[in-house]
Homo-oligomer: A and B are copies of this chain.
Amino acid sequence: MTDTVNRQILLVEKPAGKLGPEHFRLSATAVPEPKDGEALLRVRYISLDAANRAWMHGATYRAAVETNTVMAGGGLAEVVSSKAAELAPGDIVFGDTGWQDYAAVPAKHLTKLPRIEPLTHLLSIYGIAGLTAYFGLLEIGKPKAGDTVVVSAAAGSVGSIVGQIAGIRGCRVIGIAGGKDKCHWLTAELGFDAAVDYKDAALFRQIKAAAPKGIDVYFDNVGGDILEACLPQMNNHGRIACCGAISQYDGAPSPHGPRGVPGLIVVKRLIMQGFIVMDFMDRRDQATADLQTWVSSGKLKVQEDVIDGLENTPRALIGLLAGENRGKRMIRV
């Protein structure tokens, strides 16, 4: 083992409003010893996800994060030593390592991954982001060729893949993103048919102009006003894949939901369905195979936003919540 010090980023206070650097503190401790059944991991890349912020509100699909502990987060790591039969030094794993250099984690909570290059793809296209896009769009959104598919947070890690898969499946694809640059990138580089800048006024009319035949599938990463603008534009029997509610994470959640729920759901016979990617992991191999085919043929472009340095993790998350990133943001530890 090279290091004897384990740098950690602690969550020292849960934010009441917006998340800021003052809510975190860099600390140092000894590199832990793995117990029976655990592996000692050297964290290589830390995944940044809007859901990290949602965990601070309380229990979601996982327990809430607690103050004065290492901030939770998904990490790609290499096994340094192992007291678990199924893992050996050099293995690459994914799991909740937290924001730190080293972690001792029970092997049963880790997913062993193939060592592919670049390793970063295991956090982006072949990781949670890519699989969320794949299963959420195809299993929940159920797009048919010719459908109009709208995706919000379209320049983000999940949205940028959702839109490209929808395009591969023969849909008309409209991305909603923040700012002209991102919108241009979606259409010029990723092959979206249209992009709508939610920072412009007249969001409803912009979407209407881009989706003149109405919306068949709305892949919702954000909730809030954008969901409210899409709902009345859904076609009968349309599907809304509820992946996240980013608009509600960084601050107090809205005391209200979108207008038209449930009235529009009834008259248009819509399906709104929530999902989390863990529910589909028994079919991960098929998804990965499809994604690899599309990536290697050049049909699917992988966009990553890699920032160096564990110490930069807080501001990388704060920036992600403000919409700084294109594609999958991660920290190289």
Q: Which of A65-73, A102-110, A201-209, A254-262 contacts its partner?
A: A254-262
Among residues 239 to 280 in chain A, which have CB atoms less than 8 Å away from a CB atom of chain B? 240, 242-245, 248, 253-276, 279
A155: Cβ under 8 A from any B Cβ: no
Copies per assembly: 2
Number of A positions contacting B (CB below 8 A):
38
A259/B262 in contact, CB under 8 A: no
Query: Which residues of B sit under 8 angstroms from A262, Cβ to Cβ?
Result: 220, 223, 227, 240, 242, 245, 257-258, 272, 274
A243/B257 in contact, CB under 8 A: no
A258/B259 in contact, CB under 8 A: no
Residues in A lying within 8 Å of B, measured CB to CB: 54, 60-61, 220, 223, 227-228, 240, 242-245, 248, 253-276, 279
A-B pairs, top 7 by smallest CB distance, nearest first, are: A257-B261, A257-B257, A256-B256, A265-B274, A266-B274, A242-B262, A272-B272
Q: A243-B266, A248-B263, A265-B273 are in contact. List 7 more A-B contacts (CB 8 A).
A: A54-B263, A60-B267, A228-B257, A245-B262, A256-B259, A257-B257, A257-B258
